[in-house]
Structure 1
Amino acid sequence: MTHADDAGRHLAQDGTQDGKQAGTAAGGALPRSTPEEQGVDPRALAALVATLAGGPPEQELRSLVVVRHGHVVAEGGRAPYATDRPHALYSLSKTFTATAVGLAVDEGLFGLDDLVVDLAPQDAPTSGLSDEERARLGRLTVRDLLTMRSGHDTDPSEAVFPAHRWVARFLELPLAHEPGTHFVYNTAATAVLAALVERAAGVGLLEYLRPRLLDPLGFGPATWELSPEGHATGGFGLSAGMRDVASFGELLLRDGVHRGQRLLPEGWVALASQAHVPPGTAPGDERSDWAQGYGFQMWRSRHGYRGDGAFGQYCLVLPEHDVVVAMSSAVRDLQVPLDAVWEHLLPACGDAPLAPDDDGRAALADAFAGLRVTWPQGEPTSPLAARLDGRRVLFDPNPLGVTHASVTVGDESDRIDVRLESEPVALSVGHGEPVVGELPPRYPGMPGPEPVAAHAVWTARDEYVVTVRALEDTPVLTVTVRVTGDVVEATPTLNVSFGPTELATLRGVLAERA
C-alpha cells in the first residue's frame, strides 16, 4: 500500500514553541520493566530487532518502542535517530487528527453527523455542480470524512493540495457516490477535518491537543505542517518521537485513560477503531493488513488496529496481547515490518511472568547496540580533488533545477555549494564522521531548517560519493559524482520516495578558474 497523497506537503506549522514545554508536562514517560516481568521472551524481541534491521538498505528501522502491560519492555534507535527525537509521521498524523475530532465532538463544538457544508459555509461552492452533485454534497457529514467515504470516486488529494483554499477546492469537486457508501483513501478529507476542528476551537491543532492530550502524556517536541490557509495539514505533516507515539498508543489501548485520568471521551476509542469500512473494501489479499477494514483514520490489522504512515511509521495497538508497538522506519514495503511483528513478537507474549533471562536481555541489548547507520567507505581525497577544488561545475538544464555547483576541499571535511532554482545551498560534508548541519526546508514554510548529517568520500580515483541524511525524516540522498577530464556527471538517488528513487543524471563541465 502506498500513501502517495502524503507527498502533498505544503506550508508548515512550527509547533516547537508548544512542543518544547512538554518535558515538564504532567504524566511523564511510561514505566519500564524487563521483558520477562511482563511475560515477553527477550530473545524474541532480539530476533524482532534483528529482522527489522537486517533487510536491504531501503528497509531501515529507525527507532522502536515495545510496550506490554503498560510497561516499556524494549526501546532503542539507530543512531543518530532516537525514540525521543521527532520523526515525520506521514499518514500516522491522521489518527491524531481523528482524536482531535473526538475531543471536539465531546466538547460540543460539532457532531459526527453534522453536515460539512453547514460547518464550512464560506467554502461551499455556488456554481459548477449539478443538482444531483449539490444534493450529495449537502449530505456529506463529519463521519463520512473520518471513514474516507466522502463520495469521491478517486482520491481527490492531487487536485486539492495545489490549490490555495483546500477546503473550498475539496467541496467543489463532484461526488460520484452517495457519501458514506464508497471508500477511497483520501488525505484531503483529513485536511478538511483538521480545518473544521481549528475553526470551531479557534486555535491550531497542536495548540488544541497540547493541554487535552499531549501534555498529560508527557509529549516532547512536536511540529505540524500548515496548509496555505494556515490550518494544520491533518492527514500528514505531524512530527513526534516514537516514545511519545507509544504513549499515545497506550492511551488508545486503555480506552483513553492515562494513569487514572480520562483524556479521551469514554467509548471513543472503541468507536474509532471499529471497521466502519468492512474488510475487503480496501485493495489487497486477505493476508494484507490493508484489507482488514478501516475505522476513523485508523486501519484494522490482522491483529488489533493501527495508525500508520508512509515508509513505515507505525503505532500498533494489539488489545488481545496487551501490547503497543511504535516504530519509525524508512522502508519501501510497508507489509514487511508488520509481518516481522506478527512473526516474532506475538508468539513471545505469555500469560504470566517469565523466569529472568540475563542472556536473553543481553542479546536484546546487543541487537539495539548493533543498530548503526553506515556510510560509504573510501578515501578522504583523490588526485582529482585538486582539479575540482573551488571550480564551478556548470550543469546542462535539468529537471532538478541545478545550475551549478562547486566543492571546496578540506582535510576533515569538504564544503559543497549548489545553486538550486536560484537559491544557494551550502553544506559541509565529513570524510570520516558525518557533519551535522542544516538545509533549507524542502517545502515552502516547513518548520525551520531541516537538520541533516552529511558525508563524502572518494570511492574510486574518479568517483566522489556524497550522502545526506535527514535526521527527522525518511529521505537519504546519495549523489555519485564521476569526473572524466572536464566533464562531470552527478547521479542522485533516494532511499525511499513517493516517485522514482533513481533521479536524472546531471551533466556538466568544469569552468575555467577565475
Structure 2
Amino acid sequence: MTLPRSTPADQGLSSEGLDGFVAALDASKQELHTLIVLRRGHVVLEREWSPYRLADRHLLFSVSKSFTSTAVGLAVEAGLLSVDDKVVSFFSGDDLPDKISDNLAAMEVRHLLTMSTGHSADTVDRLGRTGRMVQGFFQLDVENAPGAPFVYNSGATYILSAIVQKVTGEKLTEYLRPRLFEPLGITEAIWETSDEGINMGGWGLSLNTHSLAAFAQLLVQRGEWEGKQLVPAAWIDAATSAQVDNSNQDNPDWKQGYGYQFWRGRHNSYRGDGAFGQYVLVLPDHDSAVLITSASPDMQATMNVIWDHLLPVLEGKEVSGTAKESLEILPPAGPAPAAGDGQTYTFATNDHGLSAVRLDADGGGTFTLDAARPGESGTQEITFAPGDWTEQPYTLRDPAQRMVTSAYGDGETFVATARLLEAPFVMTLRCRVVDGRLSVGVNYNVGFGTTDETLVSE
C-alpha cells in the first residue's frame, strides 16, 4: 500500500516551515540520503538527495531490532512464547554450556528485549558475527543478575531472532512476510543471515524509505492497518514505553528510557534507529513520524535539527524557510587525474578486498575487488573516471546494489571515490606510485573501528 500524499496545509502544517527543516538538514554536517515526514497518516514531505533514491533499499543497522521486536510480539500473540519464558528453555544440546550459571538460568525473554540481560558489555563484540553465534552467546559470562542496568546488546537481539525461528520454524523474514510485510506493501525486504541460517535480528535488514514510512504509520496507529489489527495494540504500547532506565547513556535522546527494542526520546517520542543515522521516529502527540536514511557522524545532532526546526512546525508555530529545489551530493571536486602508467599493481589479501589497481593514460582507473565481508562473494572490476558520478552495479552482493564512482587528481595522486547507494558507506582511495610500488590510502566516511588504512602493492 502507498500512503496517501497531502499538501502540508491540508494537514495543518506550514510548507515554508517544512522547507526550513529541509534546509537545516541540508546545511548540517549530517549527510542526508532520504527523508519522509508523515502527518495524520499522510505523506506531507518526501525528499531525496541524488544519487540516493527513496525507492532504493537502504541498510538499516539497528532499526532491524524494532522489526525483531514486532516478530516477538506476533509470536507472543500466537501463544508460542511469553516474555516471562526463560531464555535457556528454548535451547538444548551443545548450544548450552555444561554448567548453566544462576544468572543465565534467570534470564528471561523480557531481558533480551530490554537490553538488561546482566552482561557487562555488548555480547556481539565477543561472540563475533560468524560461526556458532548462539553457542557463543551462552558461553559468555553473565556478570550481573538479569534486570541489571541497561547495556546495549545486539547479541541479545540475535538470540531473540533465534528464539522466533525455534518456535515458528521460520526465519524472521519468512515469519514477518505474510503477517507484516505483505499487508504493509513491503516487497523488497532482505535480511542478512548468519552462518547458522538465522536472520541477524539486531542488524542486517534492508528496506526502502517508503516501507519505513508504512511501518511508522502502523506504529502511530498502534498496530492497526486498513481495519485489521496486524500487531496487538498492547504489544505496541509496551514495546514503545520505557521498560528500563537507561539514564546511564550519554546523549539526551538516548537516556529517556528503553522499551522492547525501541528507544524513548525527548518530547514524548520513540523510535527505532540505526548506526550512522537511520531513523523511524514517531511523535504520538503530533500524529506524525519522521523517516531518515543518512550517513551521519553524529546522530544526536540530527535529532537536535528535528527538535529545533521540525517540532515548532508540528506545534503550529510561525516558521519560515527556503529549501533547494534540487538536493544532491556532488562528487568530490578537483582537476582531472594525471596520466597513469597502465601497469597493474597487485595487493596481498586485505580486509578491504582490494586485489589489483590499474591507472590508465586517459586518467581513468580500474580497481579489482574480491569478496571480503560477510554476505559478499565473487570478484568485481570497478571503474573510476573524472567528472560526474558514473553508476555501475556493485555485484559482490546478491542482489546487486547501486553504486556510483568518480575520480580526480591531487597532484600525482589519483583519488577515487565510490558510494554504495544502499548503505551509508563511501570509500575513498588515494593512489600514488612511490619507488615503483602503488600506495593506496583507504578511507571510509563512517564505520565501526578503524576507517583509515594504507595498502602497498606487492
CA distance in 2, matches of 1:188, 1:399: 23
CA distance in 1, matches of 2:258, 2:174: 28
Contact 2:392 2:402 in 1 (8 A): yes
Report the residue type matching 1:467 in the other structure.
T
Contact 2:295 2:424 in 1 (8 A): yes
Whether 1:262 and 2:238 are equivalent positions in the alignment is: no
Q: TM-score by structure 1 length?
A: 0.82
> Secondary structure in 2 aligned to 1:466?
strand
Report the residue type matching 1:417 in the other structure.
T
**Change beyond 3 A, Cα 1:397–1:37:** closer
Specify the alignment match of 1:3 in structure 2: none
Whether 1:46 and 2:19 are equivalent positions in the alignment is: yes
Alpha-carbon displacement from aligned partner over 1:156-188 (angstroms, at most 9, x marks no partner): 111222452222221221212111233210000
Deviation at 1:210, TM superposition (A): 1.2
Contact 1:404 1:419 in 2 (8 A): no
> Secondary structure in 1 aligned to 2:69?
helix
Specify the alignment match of 1:320 in structure 2: 285
Q: Which moved more, 1:429-438 or 1:33-42?
A: 429-438
Report the residue type matching 2:359 in the other structure.
V
> Secondary structure in 1 aligned to 2:43?
strand
> Secondary structure in 2 aligned to 1:47?
helix
CA distance in 1, matches of 2:448, 2:206: 18
Whether 1:458 and 2:458 are equivalent positions in the alignment is: no
Specify the alignment match of 1:33 in structure 2: 6
Specify the alignment match of 2:203 in structure 1: 236
Q: Which moved more, 1:161-170 or 1:254-263?
A: 161-170
Out of 103, 106, 123, the residue aligned to residue 156 of structure 1 is 123
Deviation at 1:258, TM superposition (A): 1.4
CA distance in 1, matches of 2:348, 2:182: 51
Specify the alignment match of 1:492 in structure 2: 442
Alpha-carbon displacement from aligned partner over 1:60-97 (angstroms, at most 9, x marks no partner): 00000000111110001111211221100000000000
Deviation at 1:487, TM superposition (A): 4.8
- 1:298-313 correspondence to structure 2 within 5 Å: 298-303=262-267, 304-313=269-278
> Secondary structure in 1 aligned to 2:233?
coil
CA distance in 1, matches of 2:438, 2:424: 28
Alpha-carbon displacement from aligned partner over 1:102-140 (angstroms, at most 9, x marks no partner): 00100111111111111122455242x4xxx62222221
Deviation at 1:440, TM superposition (A): 5.0
Out of 76, 79, 82, the residue aligned to residue 108 of structure 1 is 79
Deviation at 1:396, TM superposition (A): 8.0
**Change beyond 3 A, Cα 1:249–1:119:** same
Deviation at 1:395, TM superposition (A): 5.3
- 1:82-93 correspondence to structure 2 within 5 Å: 82-93=53-64
Deviation at 1:243, TM superposition (A): 1.4
Alpha-carbon displacement from aligned partner over 1:243-300 (angstroms, at most 9, x marks no partner): 11111111111110112221101311111111111251x3115xx1111110000000
Out of 411, 424, 431, the residue aligned to residue 481 of structure 1 is 431
Out of 428, 431, 438, the residue aligned to residue 383 of structure 2 is 428
Specify the alignment match of 1:219 in structure 2: 186
Out of 369, 375, 393, the residue aligned to residue 438 of structure 1 is 393
CA distance in 1, matches of 2:228, 2:270: 23
CA distance in 2, matches of 1:398, 1:230: 26
Contact 1:454 1:469 in 2 (8 A): yes
Contact 1:490 1:505 in 2 (8 A): yes
Deviation at 1:420, TM superposition (A): 8.1
CA distance in 2, matches of 1:487, 1:301: 52
CA distance in 1, matches of 2:409, 2:436: 17
**Change beyond 3 A, Cα 1:187–1:381:** closer
CA distance in 2, matches of 1:329, 1:308: 11
Contact 1:147 1:296 in 2 (8 A): yes
**Change beyond 3 A, Cα 1:123–1:116:** farther
Q: TM-score by structure 2 length?
A: 0.92
**Change beyond 3 A, Cα 1:93–1:423:** closer
Deviation at 1:414, TM superposition (A): 4.2
Whether 1:469 and 2:419 are equivalent positions in the alignment is: yes
Contact 1:406 1:418 in 2 (8 A): no
Contact 2:150 2:246 in 1 (8 A): no
> Secondary structure in 2 aligned to 1:67?
strand
Q: Which moved more, 1:204-213 or 1:66-75?
A: 204-213
CA distance in 1, matches of 2:214, 2:237: 18
Contact 2:337 2:407 in 1 (8 A): no
CA distance in 2, matches of 1:253, 1:204: 26
Out of 366, 375, 399, the residue aligned to residue 331 of structure 2 is 375
Say what the alpha-carbon RMSD is for the aligned residues: 2.6
Contact 1:275 1:295 in 2 (8 A): yes
CA distance in 1, matches of 2:370, 2:130: 28
CA distance in 2, matches of 1:265, 1:72: 24
Out of 354, 358, 370, the residue aligned to residue 406 of structure 1 is 358
Deviation at 1:32, TM superposition (A): 0.8
Specify the alignment match of 2:254 in structure 1: 290
Q: Which has the higher contact order (CA 8 A, sep 6+)?
A: 1
- 1:97-176 correspondence to structure 2 within 5 Å: 97-122=68-93, 124-127=95-98, 129=99, 134-162=101-129, 164-176=131-143
Q: Which moved more, 1:340-349 or 1:257-266?
A: 257-266
Report the residue type matching 1:407 in the other structure.
L
Q: Which moved more, 1:327-336 or 1:492-501?
A: 492-501
Structure 1, unpaired ranges of 5+: 1-27, 510-514
Report the residue type matching 2:262 in the other structure.
M
Specify the alignment match of 2:366 in structure 1: 415
Contact 1:117 1:124 in 2 (8 A): no
CA distance in 1, matches of 2:59, 2:210: 13
**Change beyond 3 A, Cα 1:341–1:166:** same
Deviation at 1:470, TM superposition (A): 0.4
- How many residues align? The count is 453
**Change beyond 3 A, Cα 1:351–1:371:** closer
Specify the alignment match of 1:8 in structure 2: none
Deviation at 1:475, TM superposition (A): 0.6
CA distance in 1, matches of 2:378, 2:360: 19
Report the residue type matching 1:85 in the other structure.
D
Contact 1:124 1:168 in 2 (8 A): yes
CA distance in 2, matches of 1:403, 1:457: 21
Report the residue type matching 1:507 in the other structure.
V
> Secondary structure in 2 aligned to 1:267?
helix
